Amino acid sequence: MSEVKVENKNARGFAGLVNNMLAPLNENEKFKEKFQHKHVKILINAVNVNFAALIIIDYGKLNVEGIPNKPKENLRKKNVGWDGFLEIDTQTFLAFVMNRISLFGIAKKWIIRKIRLRGINKLLHLLKLFKLLIKNNK
């Protein structure tokens, strides 16, 4: 079993985009309150770019790390240790984040196998993060 090199300091590409979107949550008191007892790792693999984003919620702190998604073995659960996995293209991900595609639309894409989901219960934490971001921006 080989170790995966995690690009921690410089979240590049897609991981940098996710980091910039979620970074304001570290100052959000509601986020700290809701996630103070949770430790979750969610991996979002954007299939059309070179880096995946590993979102780490660590007892009220959020960190995003970049992981090279080639070769595919880099993204395995035993190598990265993720709790939830989402494989999606960047356009669909951004449309979902900006509320241009609904949860029903995501479910439809999952049924026709355009996206992959693993650990759906843990992925619900991702929805809560985006909900907090939307409330924070209003």
Query: What CATH homologous superfamily does 13-131 map to?
Result: SCP2 sterol-binding domain (3.30.1050.10)
The string of pLDDT tens digits covering residues 36-57 is 999 999 999 999 998 999 999 9
- Domain map (residue ranges) of the chain: 13-131
Alpha carbons 29 and 8: distance in angstroms, whole number: 25
| 101 three-state secondary structure | coil
The string of pLDDT tens digits covering residues 87-133 is 999 999 999 888 888 888 888 999 999 999 999 888 889 888 988 88
Alpha carbons 69 and 119: distance in angstroms, whole number: 19
Beta bridge partners of 85: 43, 118
Tokens at residue 84, please?
């939830």
Tokens at residue 19, please?
């980091």
How many other CB atoms sit within 10 Å of the CB of residue 133?
Answer: 16
Contact in structure between 39 and 57 (CB atoms under 8 Å): yes
